[in-house]
Amino acid sequence: MSERLTEEKKKKKEDGRKSSLELRLSSEILKKKNNKKVKLDDDIEALWGDDIDADAWEECIQRATQVCPEDQIMPTQVNDVSVLPSYSAFKERNILISSTQLPQANNGSGRPGTSKDVFVPRRSTTARNIDVDIKTLQDKYNEKEGEASILRLQLQETKATFQVEQQKLQNEWKQQLLQAERQMRSVKSQLEFKNLEIVNLKQKLLEVTKHNTLDVSLGAIQNTSIPNIRQDEDIKQTITQSDILYSMPHPNYPLKDISPETLFNVPKQEQHISETKLTHTCRNAIPYLQNQAVPKKLALDKSNVNIHCIYPDIFRLVYCAEGDFDKKEHYKNMNIILCACEQSMHDLKIFLEQIKVNLRTEDILEADSNYLKSLDNSLHSRLLSKEEEEIGIKSSVLLNFVAELLPYSEYLQKYIFQDNHLEIEEKELVIKRFPYLVVKEQTRVSHYFLNNVLDITRIVGEIRKANFMMKFLCSTIKLLVNIHKCRNYDYVNDIFYACRFYIFVMLFDSTVLGQNNGNFPSVVGLNFLHFMHNTFKNSYWIHHRDTKKCECISQLYKLVIEILARALENYIKEAKETQLSHEWSYFFKSRITAKILDSVAFNSYELIERYITVFSQYKQIEKQLQEKKGLIELEKLSITEEIVEISSNALANADF
């Protein structure tokens, strides 16, 4: 700071000397100009005057080359503010302060100079220093700005990485929490099943103890003597008490036999990959079309139904006694299970439609050819063993539970058969949970539940995926069986017409008749014949369906004849090998076999005649039954081709 002050003082002294020299020169020039009085218009060059005198010029050179002495600043004056230059004069207006300003004389005789007389000084060193300082400061500013931008980028990167890591940690903790909740639910459900098993075992133990007390009391009666009257009275009292205990009604839990494996082993998301390769009977002439492979097409089930959330409602109905299902406190549980079942079937229908779109006509023909080839080898059984490719497991589990619950709940029967509305509380929450209800209200289809089952079954037949939906078809059969148990045929005869038997044709043919040896248990055949007889007996409208529009009835009769033919072959084979045919002899001696033969022969003989294979099997059965005496009395059946003669008197007395 002190050095800068000394430099400024030196500059001021030099400026003062220069200004005094300039004043002297300018005064001499003015004197000469005043003496000559030259006109401006006549000669402009005369304004500059004569040349400078030699003495004045030498004095200027001498002064310019001399070194002026500097005033030394005392150490005490370094921090003295009064010594510093003052810039207050620059704040006053209308005052020119420059080195070229001419001082006015006291007498006012001086004349201001023109523009030609002004002396322009050189640029001061202070301006240069200021420019240098500005440049250095600008460079430092740019450096700091670059450092700040780099720090900003680093801060943003650290923030982004921190957010990503935090999101990962949150997702991991959420997944662990969800997994723990699922495990807890599964453990709770298993615990509830164990509690149910404990209750059943306690009931069985109670029954066994009652039987034991009864046996002990009876043994005591036999061992006692006649004179001991008091002992006889005690025994009678124990007998009566045991009888009273044994006759007490116990609560029956009809849904306790449902296996927990069907509820727990349900996948979260289902997928189906359709991959086909066309096998031509002859070689294609075009090279790139020879056994051209079709790319894989993946279809995903986008169902959001979570069965784990329905476990509490299912277990509450499992623990419910037989007469308590129609209580209003259980309506909410049944509504949730029904809505979940309908939602899963709605999603399954969309899933099957997606598979149907991906299929071609060649794929369906190939599936038919593979099915025909599988009848001669074990390919079909291998296809059935692929449980990992099963479709519609969620829907099959829920439909199976609804079918088990159907015979014990009038509320459920009225909804399915009579198309009554569900008594849903908090409908908005239920709609958010099961969005299909919006579509159901918009379409307003009657018998929505049964129509969904039929549509899914129809699509399964169209896309040839029965092998991948065995569980759903089995659940559908159980639903049909329980519908017959409830004897509600009139409510569903327009919906469940003869096409329902197409399910039986597929399932029985694939599981039983598709085996290599052709053997099947006699109990399976009898159960099937029982069901068919009940259907024929209680639903007479089946026989009056137009066979041109629906071929299921003819297929059903063909299946009945096929079962009887296989059963007769097994009977003859067993009789030759073991000489004892108790199982299959009981099959033919059963009343249901005779009734089904009578019904088929009376109602559908014209359908049997249409098919050569079926008709030949039918005639072979008739011939062998005539040879095997003691199995069925053919005289009581109407399987002969002769027309029965009826007297005119019987017709006259008939009341039509």
Which band of pLDDT confidence, cut at 50, 70 and 90, is reported for residue 418?
Answer: confident
Q: How far is CA 169 from CA 166, 174, 175, 180, 181, in A?
A: 5, 8, 10, 16, 18
Segment 483-499 mean pLDDT: 58
Nearest Cα residue to 637 out of 647, 624, 622: 622
Higher-confidence residue of 457 and 509: namely 457
* Cβ atoms < 10 Å from Cβ of 396: 25
Per the CB < 8 A criterion, the answer to whether 393 and 338 are in contact is no
Whether the Cβ atoms of residue 256 and residue 200 lie closer than 8 Å to each other: yes
Q: How much is the average pLDDT of 380-403?
A: 68
Examine the pLDDT at 380 and tell me if it is beyond 60.
Answer: no
CA nearest to 329, candidates 345, 316, 311: 316
Percent of the chain past pLDDT 90, that is, above it, reads: 4
Instruction: Identify the helix (H) or strand (E) that includes residue 460.
Output: helix 448-463
The pLDDT of residue 538 is 64
* pLDDT confidence tier of residue 241, bands split at 50, 70 and 90: very low
pLDDT band with cut points at 50, 70 and 90 for residue 478 = confident
Which has the higher per-residue pLDDT, 286 or 479?
A: 479
Q: Residue by residue, what is the 3-state secondary structure of 309-373?
A: HHHHHHHHHHCCCHHHCCCHHHHHHHHHHHHHHHHHHHHHHHHHHHHHHHCCHHHHHHHHHHHHH
Within 10 Å of residue 455's Cβ, how many Cβ atoms? 16
Higher-confidence residue: 322 or 223? 322
* Cβ density class 474-511: b for 16+ within 10 Å, e for less: bbbbbbbebbeebebbebbeebbbbbbbbbbbbbbbbb
Q: From residue 523, how far is each of 514, 519, 520, 588, 618 by CA, in Å?
A: 17, 12, 9, 12, 22
Torsion of CA 471, 476, 479, 481, to 10 degrees: -100
Q: From CA 39, how far away is CA 362, in angstroms rounded? A: 121
**Span 89-106, mean pLDDT?**
52
C-beta neighbour count of 14 within 10 angstroms: 11
Query: Who has greater pLDDT, 357 or 283?
Result: 357
Average pLDDT, integer, range 476-498: 65
Give yes or no for residue 551 having a pLDDT over 70.
no
Measured torsion, CA atoms of residues 129, 132, 133, 139, in degrees rounded to the nearest 10: 180
Asked whether the predicted pLDDT for residue 385 surpasses 50, the reply is no
pLDDT at 520 exceeding the cut of 50: yes
Which residues are registered as beta bridge partners of 277? 293
Condensed to tens digits (0 to 9), the pLDDT of residues 122-157 reads: 556 788 888 888 989 999 999 999 899 999 999 999
Comparing CA positions, the residue from 484, 434, 474, 423 lying closest to residue 453 is: 474
Helix and strand numbers (H, E) in the chain are: 24, 2
Average pLDDT over residues 283-292: 50
Long-range pairs for 423-431 at CB < 8 Å and ≥24 separation?
423/331, 423/335, 424/335, 425/332, 430/335, 430/336, 430/339
Of the ranges 266-270, 275-279, 468-472, 621-625, the best mean pLDDT one: 468-472
Confidence grade of residue 230 (pLDDT, cut at 50, 70, 90): very low
The full DSSP string for 124-147 is PHHHHHHHHHHHHHHHHHHHHHHH
d(CA 277, CA 285): 17
Task: Give per-residue pLDDT as tens, 190-222.
Answer: 787 777 778 777 777 777 776 565 454 445 444
Average pLDDT on 254-260 reads 67
Give dist(CA 314, CA 401) in Å, integer.
8
DSSP 8-class letter at 271: E
pLDDT range class, residue 543, cuts 50, 70, 90: low
Give residue 46's pLDDT.
59
| Ranges of each domain in the chain | 2-122, 129-246, 255-496, 506-656
Instruction: Give the model's confidence band at 109: pLDDT under 50 very low, under 70 low, under 90 confident, else very high.
Output: very low
> Which residues partner with 300 through β-bridges?
271
Q: What is the pLDDT of residues 610-648, one digit of tens each?
A: 666 666 777 777 777 777 666 665 555 544 444 445 555
**Rounded CA gap, 293 and 247, in Å?**
71
Helix (H, G, I), strand (E, B) or coil at 277: strand
Section 269-276 average pLDDT? 58
Residue 364: both structure tokens together: 């369906």
- pLDDT at position 416 is 83
The mean pLDDT of 104-115, rounded to a whole number, is 47
CA distance 495 to 445: 12
Hey, which of 45-54, 398-407, 539-548 has the most confident mean pLDDT?
Answer: 398-407
The yes-or-no verdict on residue 48 having pLDDT over 80 is no
Contact 299/271 with Cβ under 8 angstroms?
yes
The pLDDT of residue 5 is above 70: no
Q: Compute the distance between CA of residue 16 and CA of residue 354 in angstroms, rounded to an integer.
A: 104
Higher-pLDDT residue of 522, 164? 164
Lowest mean pLDDT among 90-99, 151-160, 168-177: 90-99
